[in-house]
Structure 1
Amino acid sequence: MKAWFIVLVAVLILAINMGLRQALGIFLPDMVSVYSMSLPSISLAFAVQNLLWGAVAPFAGIMAERHGYPKVLIAGALIYSAGTALMAVSQSPIVYHLSNGILLGIGVGATTFPIVLGAVSQYFPEKKRSLALGIASAGGSLGQFIYALAGNALNQTYGYSTTLLIFAMTVLLIPLLVMPVKPQASENAPVISSEPAWRGKNFILLAAGFFVCGFHVAFISVHLPNYASFCGLTSDIAANSLAIIGLCNVAGTVFAGWLGGRYYKPYLLSGIYLARAALIFAFFISPKSAESFYWFAAIMGVLWLSTVPLTSGAVAQLYGAGKVASLFGWVMFSHQIGAFVAVYSAGWIVELTGTYNIAWYLSILLGITAALIHIPINIPKSPERILSQ
């Protein structure tokens, strides 16, 4: 029962962590207006945020493994809330980059998947772990659904600044959620040196594949609202699309976790990335309307964060549940490098060409590449900390 209580806490934390972060793309047109900056300049802060988030995650994971997950999550939540509030009250471009780029990057990185899933992993044996990780990961999708709809409604009623202040206050719920949780040493995995992972083919391929996941998720979550406006569609359609992605991925992520406990994770990941590439191609060539945005969002939602329980589960199988926070943190860093490249390059692509076409082409090509990358990954059938993999 205690283990599933930890999963519930993880769901709520990731709902706040990812919900707020994924909903920020809704405010992109407001940011351009408020700060009087170009789209590439606005995108740069998002890109820095994504990169810093990835850089912070492995070190936050190491700190969590050594000093306890609650301490790291509380510190990260305070920074996250402060950055969101600062972005809300300032109209200075410098403060915008400091808050959205640096403070949010640190705060999100210290409260995101590697730390939260690392804690969850320690409470479950291998047979149940993948499903538990899937349920916990679905919190991020549920949060995206809630924050996207609430953010759009609040923004239309109260404006950009007030909405962000309300969002900043919701982040302060994270310390309240983790305070009752007592640190626990894992009974399912001993502490093992992570150094051999760097030399292993499996680790490198998992990280390379997750780069593509970061590219897809960041590009769509940040730039889809702006792309909708390019297509002559309203902000409601953009917000609804992000909400649909989040809602559909609640089921998609849990289902992926369930599948991961029964089938070979690398092949499942290959299928997800190939499906993404096919979906993006179909969306790109289709006429743009509310209906096309919604069916794209629904199918993409099933695939959205479904990679997370499978990738983190693969890391746990190969290197031990006790090392998920730090090692999955490094894999997440690769994810966020992909996010950095996507967000910043898409801004420049639009600036230079006037369209998002090249960014969509890259998304398709990378999806196919990621599908191929996962095929050579080898996870033993008896995955008891095979560090040489």
Structure 2
Amino acid sequence: MHFGLIIISAMLILAVNMGLRQALGIFLPEMGEIYALSMPSLSFAFAFQNLLWGAIAPFAGVLAERHGYGKVLFTGSLIYSLGTALLAVSESAWVYHLSNGVLLGIGVGATTFSVVLGAVSKNVSDKHRSVALGIASAGGSLGQFIYAIAGNMLNQSAGYGNTMLIFAVTVLTIPLLMLPLSKSKPSTLHEKTSGTPFKDKNFILLTSGFFVCGFHVAFISVHLPNYAAFCGLSTDVAATSLAIIGLCNVFGTIAAGWLGGRFHKPYLLSSVYMARALLILMFFLSPKSAANFYWFSVIMGMLWLSTVPLTSGSVAQLFGAGKVASIFGWVMFGHQVGAFVAVYSAGWIVEKTGGYDMAWYLSVGLGVIAAVMHLPMNREVFRQAQKNHVST
């Protein structure tokens, strides 16, 4: 099958997968009233969702490699849709935790980057893989733009419950969108790997850096709407900010994929994390107006998921394209541990201090640490590892 169709399919699946999940932060202030929960309790469900889908991702990747990508995506989409629908039909606190924390965690984990990009990596040549991963990853950003705008408009016109039901229906499009990926056969490659990835220095550094990416993305996507409310700004400003991040990252992610095919990926990752740290510091110190939220969103959007094609591409270079779904799944778990820490700790910080200051400072510090982490990754090691693998 022509790899262009596979890339489009992957892009659309990730648009649904990431778009819906990252737009849920818009509803955070309203969820507190509907489910009668405190900010730490609300945040814990989001945090657990992030942690669970990170834990599910590597196992979903292994199942996809062994039994086919379509089966995993189909099952995950049904669970994802069920969890979203339950948010619409119940105001019970325990149903909220079951839906947002557990079912969405499982559903997102089975339909996320590790599985989808694993299928893309197997069907694209080494020469075009980095760009292909960038284009496919951009789907998540495009979805964020669409779901943030549509979600805010639907919530204002149709209400929270109806919006969640509509979102649940959109998840059911994944079984149709996955058809090109379902024809991607289980791996039959016997690629050479230098032992378990858990002992590989570069794997550890990539995973540790991706922890910081998860911290940044989850903190901003979940808590930026509530932070806007703290600053006296409307939900429209928050929704527009998330939409701008998504739209700009379509270009940022594709550009990262293109650059990753020409320059050493870990050095590009170092630049992204340092740029994030400086941007977050500038935003935090600036006056809080709608205009400043928007310029922050434009620049953050260029950096948002640009780490995904660079990190998944690094995994493909180090361990082989046929192992991306499983090994990148473990790297993604590190990402989601960071997301868990970010979402829950930010809610706890707000509860204890009455503001987000400590969370912003923590984001800056972690960005600097991640930038430094990627510098020891030697270019020659990556080149030699890639030569040792069977090309797909």
TM bucket by the smaller chain?
over 0.9
Partner Cα separation in structure 2 for residue 254 and residue 9 of structure 1: 16
Partner Cα separation in structure 2 for residue 233 and residue 143 of structure 1: 24
Per the alignment, residue 247 of structure 2 pairs with 247
Per the alignment, residue 385 of structure 2 pairs with 383
Q: 1:81 to 1:194 in 2, by over 3 A?
A: farther
Per the alignment, residue 183 of structure 2 pairs with 182
Q: Give the CA deviation at 1:319.
A: 0.2
Q: Give the CA deviation at 1:143.
A: 0.1
Partner Cα separation in structure 1 for residue 186 and residue 110 of structure 2: 20
Per the alignment, residue 10 of structure 1 pairs with 10
Per the alignment, residue 212 of structure 1 pairs with 212
Partner Cα separation in structure 2 for residue 186 and residue 354 of structure 1: 51
Partner Cα separation in structure 2 for residue 98 and residue 385 of structure 1: 46
CA contact (8 A) 2:346 2:356 kept: yes
Per the alignment, residue 110 of structure 2 pairs with 110
- 1:215-364 alignment, distance < 5 Å: 215-364=215-364
The Cα offsets for residues 99-121 of structure 1, whole Å up to 9 and x where unpaired, read as 00000000000000000000000
The Cα offsets for residues 52-88 of structure 1, whole Å up to 9 and x where unpaired, read as 0000000000000000000000000000000000111
Per the alignment, residue 19 of structure 1 pairs with 19
One-letter amino acid of the structure 2 residue matched with residue 381 of structure 1: R
Partner Cα separation in structure 2 for residue 21 and residue 194 of structure 1: 36
Q: 1:263 to 1:186 in 2, by over 3 A?
A: farther
Partner Cα separation in structure 2 for residue 190 and residue 335 of structure 1: 28
CA contact (8 A) 1:122 1:185 kept: no
Partner Cα separation in structure 2 for residue 200 and residue 232 of structure 1: 47
Q: Give the CA deviation at 1:178.
A: 1.6
One-letter amino acid of the structure 2 residue matched with residue 160 of structure 1: Y
Q: Give the CA deviation at 1:382.
A: 3.9
Partner Cα separation in structure 1 for residue 100 and residue 196 of structure 2: 35
Partner Cα separation in structure 2 for residue 255 and residue 184 of structure 1: 29
One-letter amino acid of the structure 1 residue matched with residue 223 of structure 2: H
One-letter amino acid of the structure 2 residue matched with residue 328 of structure 1: F
Structure 1 residue runs of 4 or more that deviate by more than 4 Å after TM superposition: 191-195
2:137 is the counterpart of 1:137:
yes
Give secondary structure in 1 for the equivalent of 2:263: coil
Partner Cα separation in structure 1 for residue 291 and residue 158 of structure 2: 28
The Cα offsets for residues 291-329 of structure 1, whole Å up to 9 and x where unpaired, read as 000000000000000000000000000000000000000
Identical positions, percent: 69
One-letter amino acid of the structure 2 residue matched with residue 50 of structure 1: N
Partner Cα separation in structure 2 for residue 12 and residue 214 of structure 1: 22
Per the alignment, residue 199 of structure 1 pairs with 199
One-letter amino acid of the structure 1 residue matched with residue 22 of structure 2: Q
One-letter amino acid of the structure 2 residue matched with residue 217 of structure 1: V
Partner Cα separation in structure 2 for residue 380 and residue 16 of structure 1: 33
Q: Give the CA deviation at 1:125.
A: 1.6
The Cα offsets for residues 27-57 of structure 1, whole Å up to 9 and x where unpaired, read as 0011000001100000000000000000000
Per the alignment, residue 69 of structure 2 pairs with 69
Q: 1:368 to 1:305 in 2, by over 3 A?
A: same
Partner Cα separation in structure 1 for residue 5 and residue 385 of structure 2: 27
Alpha carbon RMSD of aligned pairs, Å?
Answer: 1.4
List gaps (5 residues or longer) in structure 1: none
Partner Cα separation in structure 1 for residue 184 and residue 302 of structure 2: 33
Partner Cα separation in structure 2 for residue 293 and residue 33 of structure 1: 25
After TM superposition, the score normalised by the length of structure 2 is 0.96
Partner Cα separation in structure 2 for residue 367 and residue 131 of structure 1: 25
After TM superposition, the score normalised by the length of structure 1 is 0.97
Partner Cα separation in structure 1 for residue 126 and residue 184 of structure 2: 20
Partner Cα separation in structure 2 for residue 208 and residue 179 of structure 1: 34
